[in-house]
């Protein structure tokens, strides 16, 4: 171990570190650690000049491991890995010690403690570096084909665009027809009609030889991993086809909220949800009538099934705003107004969230005579029956708490979006689900369509409430992510994966239960049943390591030996107390 | 409890003289009005829009208190023709309550 040749580079971060940590003292305290042949400080370790210096040091001094003591690896792990590679050093023999986020920034109150802590952190890094071994990334050849689940507008657009890029697509739809909700909802803002839109897309899809559409079909099994999946699809005639794909795009959409019987009078004739009203409007052209009675007055109740209060009695209240419903209800009001300008329309809302261009709908509806009343969450409107009509009793918040009785022939419950109940799919794809029941992305801003399952992308309203335009934007994001993955032809996976010590393993199956990625399987080695790791599925999360009663599982790059050495170095006394 | 009377709404709509549809109930007008009356002018518009004819008639004093100074109008972010609308309401009351012919 003593013959290791380790270089240590400690960064000032232009004051971010050196204002609180005495960097030169840290250098002096670690330069004689076993295995260290060089210890330097740098103003900005990530700068080109500093990296060039590291590269020549690695080459000239023949370093076989380095420690960079700087910021969080989240920022520069890949910077210094790439640098190591350029210097001819195995990138997994570089260790980053975080003395900024975990030290200088955390101890801005001054005092010698920050410097002492930095010394401990760097020593721990050196202790790990001493044990580091050259590791190799795993290269997987990718299959340049994509499976798209769900043939609503998001799925159709994803398929067409993938085909444009030159990636063949298998498009799988559960229903007999494509087009999802858009198909049923008639007119759209600012122009066009949902069923025409879908018809146009379907026509294009059918013209493409590189898109294979399966309707009344479902995914029943998925094996393999990023770049190299096998999906089993049960198709319309009951038979099962097996497809090889490199990526999977989930565009399974949303469901509409169904009010409980009696919720705001739901269940009575003429008390309909917004989607029901849209289908009704799209499906008839004559004068508007409910139950034979002409519609003279319409009342809308907003936020039904969305933005439910946290402390409500519901088991899992929908806390989120469904985004589309305010605008969609306004659009519906304008359609009704167009059909009959005499109709009175009353909107009982909590907040009017007709954001962006949808504000024009609000403007137009109010100019055309729609009346808007804001109600408070704890005083929702009530629906009372009156001979073949409804009375909506509401306390308008901006109207001096005046209680209004609004006669209405049609009450529209402006219902929001809810996640589709699709446990089978969640199971097959191992998709993570958020507290709201929609699929969960990795990062809401920077990785909005990626999931913890590499190569499986969630797009459209399957990820959360969206308008059609937002859904399509998200589906195209899924397309570019798939293309970025598959066009390269291969993926390199980190080598930090679990490994099983076959001698110790007694195949109790505890690791199998613990692994959230399904990366453990049973295998037989010389007649003995043992656990084995599927390298392409293992993400190095390490959930298996602590549950193994035989200590038979280790994580490459994070072995018990390395971690213990790092901890020992951390707790070791810092010799000369820093003045 | 006040019942929305759509006939009243229709009557006002047909007359073409009243238009507060753009009002977003921000209350600037009431805040700035030198008369300092609760209902003037925003709440009146609400009564008309919601078809609360009784409320309009009940408050004819308020309607006639307006100075037509247009201070509110100058400051209305939605360009509601407030003074015009108040005029309309006076006219309406003259006809309905005082039974005067339309001038
Ligand atoms: S979009 Fe409007 S109606 Fe829908 S949940 Fe949000 S605020 Fe409520
Ligand atoms: S200032 Fe204009 S928009 Fe605001 S409440 Fe008065 S009339 Fe309405
Ligand atoms: S015009 Fe009438 S309502 Fe407007 S500020 Fe003057 S007095 Fe008040």
> Which of A297, A369, A373 lies closest to B21 in CB terms?
A369
B7 near A CB under 8 A: no
B28 near A CB under 8 A: no
Tokens of A308: 């439910």
Helices (H), A284-422: 325-339, 359-367
* Contact yes or no for A220/A240 (Cβ under 8 A): yes
What is the separation, in whole angstroms, between the first and last Cα of chain A?
32
Summary count for chain A: helices (H), strands (E) = 15, 30
In chain A, residues under CATH classification 3.50.50.60 are: 146-253+420-491, 258-416
Class of domain A6-134+561-571: alpha beta
Cis ω for the linkage preceding B93 (within 30 of 0): no
* Contact yes or no for A33/A126 (Cβ under 8 A): yes
A313 by Cβ neighbours in 10 Å (0-12 / 13-18 / 19+) ranks as exposed
CB–CB contact A368 B49 (8 Å): no
Alpha carbon B13 to its chain centroid, in Å, reads 13
A45 by Cβ neighbours in 10 Å (0-12 / 13-18 / 19+) ranks as buried
Contacts of B24 in chain A (CB under 8 A): 366
Tokens of A166: 């030159």
Q: Which helix (H) or strand (E) holds A81?
A: helix A73-86
Q: What is the pLDDT of residue A2?
A: 53
Q: What is the pLDDT of residue B72?
A: 96
> CA A461, CA B70: separation in Å to the nearest integer?
49
In chain A, residues under CATH classification 3.40.50 are: 6-134+561-571
| Residue A211 zone, left/alpha/beta (φ > 0; ψ -120 to 50; rest) | beta
* Contact yes or no for B37/B66 (Cβ under 8 A): no
Tokens of A547: 């549950």
- Place domain A258-416 in its CATH homologous superfamily: FAD/NAD(P)-binding domain (3.50.50.60)
Decide: A323 in ligand 1 pocket, CB within 6 A.
Answer: yes
Q: Where are the domains of chain B?
A: 6-14+23-96
Show which residues on chain A lie within 8 Å of chain B, measured between beta carbons. Answer: 296-297, 342, 344, 346, 366-369, 371, 373-374, 396, 398-400, 402-407
Per-residue pLDDT of chain A (579 residues; tens, 9 = 90+): 558 999 999 999 999 999 999 999 999 999 999 999 999 999 999 999 999 999 999 999 999 999 999 999 989 999 999 999 999 999 999 999 999 999 999 998 877 789 999 999 999 999 999 999 999 988 989 999 999 999 999 999 999 999 999 999 999 999 999 999 999 999 998 889 999 999 999 999 999 999 999 999 999 999 888 999 999 999 999 999 999 999 999 999 999 999 999 899 999 999 999 999 999 999 888 899 998 899 999 999 999 999 999 888 888 899 999 999 999 999 999 999 999 999 999 999 999 999 999 999 999 999 998 999 999 988 899 999 888 889 999 988 877 778 999 999 999 999 999 999 999 999 999 888 999 999 999 988 999 999 988 999 999 999 999 999 999 999 999 999 999 999 999 998 889 999 999 999 999 999 999 998 889 999 999 999 999 999 888 889 899 999 999 999 999 999 999 999 999 999 988 865 554
As a whole number, mean pLDDT of residues B13-40 equals 91
Distance from CA of A277 to the nearest CA of B (A): 22
CB–CB contact B21 A368 (8 Å): yes
Q: Following CA atoms B32, B37, B42, B44 in sequence, which dihedral angle do they give, to the nearest 10 degrees?
A: -150
Sign of dihedral through CA atoms A330, A336, A339, A345?
A: negative
What is the separation, in whole angstroms, between the first and last Cα of chain B?
34
ipTM of the complex: 0.91
Q: Which helix (H) or strand (E) holds A481?
A: helix A468-486
> Which of A342, A367, A406 lies closest to B22 in CB terms?
A367
In chain A, residues under CATH classification 3.30.70.20 are: 494-556
Tokens of A285: 């052209």
pTM over cut 0.80:
yes
Residue A565 to residues A31, A241, A568, Cα–Cα distance (Å): 18, 52, 5
CATH 3.90.1170.50 fits A146-253+420-491, yes or no: no
Running DSSP on this structure, what letter comes out for residue A398?
A: T
Strand, coil or helix: what is A264? helix
Decide: A196 in ligand 1 pocket, CB within 6 A.
Answer: no
CATH of A494-556 among 2.40.40.20, 1.20.1740.10, 3.40.50.1370, 3.30.70.20: 3.30.70.20
* Residues contacting A64, CB < 8 A, separation 6+: A4, A5, A6, A89, A93
Q: What is the pLDDT of residue A576?
A: 57
Decide: B3 in ligand 2 pocket, CB within 6 A.
Answer: no
* Residues contacting A510, CB < 8 A, separation 6+: A544, A547, A548, A549
B13 near A CB under 8 A: yes
B6, B11, B47, best to mutate vs chain A, most A CBs in 10 Å: B6
């Amino acid at each position: 171990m003593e013959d290791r040749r380790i270089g240590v580079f400690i960064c000032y971060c232009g004051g971010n570190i050196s204002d609180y940590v005495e960097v030169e003292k840290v250098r002096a305290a670690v330069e004689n650690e076993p295995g260290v042949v060089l210890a330097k400080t740098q103003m900005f370790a990530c700068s080109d000049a500093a990296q060039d210096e590291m590269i020549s040091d690695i080459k000239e001094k023949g370093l076989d491991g380095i420690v960079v003591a700087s910021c969080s690896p989240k920022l520069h792990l890949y910077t210094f890995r790439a640098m190591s590679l350029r210097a001819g050093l195995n990138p997994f023999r570089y260790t980053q010690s975080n003395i900024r986020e975990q030290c200088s920034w955390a101890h801005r109150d001054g005092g010698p403690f920050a410097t002492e802590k930095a010394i401990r952190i760097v020593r721990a890094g050196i202790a790990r570096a001493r044990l580091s071994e050259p590791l190799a990334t795993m290269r997987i050849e990718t299959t340049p084909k994509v499976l798209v689940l769900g043939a609503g507008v998001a799925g159709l657009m994803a398929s067409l665009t993938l085909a444009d890029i030159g990636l063949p697509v298998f498009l799988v739809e559960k229903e007999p027809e494509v087009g999802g909700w858009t198909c049923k909802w008639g007119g759209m803002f600012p122009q066009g009609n949902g069923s025409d839109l879908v018809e146009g897309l379907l026509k294009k899809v059918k013209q493409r030889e590189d898109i294979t559409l399966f309707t009344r079909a479902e995914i029943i099994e998925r094996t393999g991993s990023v770049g190299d999946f096998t999906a089993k699809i049960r198709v319309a005639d009951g038979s099962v086809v097996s497809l090889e794909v490199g990526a999977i795009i989930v565009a399974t959409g949303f469901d509409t909220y169904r009010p409980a019987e009696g919720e705001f009078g739901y269940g009575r004739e003429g008390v309909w949800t917004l989607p029901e009203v849209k289908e009704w409007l799209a499906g008839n052209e004559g004068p508007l009538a409910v139950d034979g009675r002409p519609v003279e007055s319409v009342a809308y109740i907003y936020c039904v099934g969305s933005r439910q209060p946290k402390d409500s009695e519901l088991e899992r209240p929908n806390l989120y705003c469904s985004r589309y419903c305010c605008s969609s209800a306004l659009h519906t009001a304008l359609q009704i107004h167009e059909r009959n300008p005499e109709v009175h329309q009353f909107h009982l809302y909590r907040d009017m969230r007709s954001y962006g261009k949808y504000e024009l709908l609000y403007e137009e509806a109010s100019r055309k005579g729609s009346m808007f009343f804001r109600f408070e969450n704890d005083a929702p409107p009530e629906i009372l029956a009156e001979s073949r009509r409804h009375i909506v009793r509401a306390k308008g918040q901006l109207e001096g708490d005046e209680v209004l009785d609004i006669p209405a022939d049609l009450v529209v419950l402006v219902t929001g979006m809810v996640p589709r109940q699709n446990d089978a799919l969640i199971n097959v794809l191992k998709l993570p689900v958020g507290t709201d029941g929609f699929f969960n992305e990795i990062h809401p801003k920077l990785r909005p369509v990626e999931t913890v399952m590499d190569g499986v992308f969630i797009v459209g309203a399957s990820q959360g409430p969206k308008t059609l335009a937002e859904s399509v934007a998200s589906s195209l994001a899924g397309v570019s992510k798939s293309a970025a993955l598959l066009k390269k032809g291969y993926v390199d996976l980190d080598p930090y994966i679990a490994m099983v010590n076959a001698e110790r393993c007694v195949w109790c199956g505890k690791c199998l239960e613990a692994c959230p990625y399904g990366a453990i399987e049973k295998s037989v080695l010389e007649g003995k049943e043992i656990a084995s790791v599927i390298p392409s599925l293992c993400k190095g999360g390490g959930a298996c390591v602590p549950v193994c009663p035989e200590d038979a599982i280790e994580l490459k790059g994070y072995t018990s030996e390395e971690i213990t050495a790092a901890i020992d170095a951390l707790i070791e006394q810092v010799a000369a107390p820093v003045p | 409890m006040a019942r929305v009377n759509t006939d009243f709404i229709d009557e006002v709509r047909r007359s073409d003289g009243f238009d507060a549809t753009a009002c977003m109930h921000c209350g600037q007008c009431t805040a700035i009005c030198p008369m300092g009356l609760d209902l003037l002018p925003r709440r009146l518009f609400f009564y008309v829009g919601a078809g609360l004819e009784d409320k309009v008639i009940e408050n004819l004093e308020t309607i006639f208190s307006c100075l037509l100074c247009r201070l509110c109008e100058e400051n209305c972010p939605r360009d509601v023709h407030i003074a015009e609308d108040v005029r309309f309401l006076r006219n309406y009351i003259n006809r309905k309550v005082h039974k005067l012919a339309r001038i």
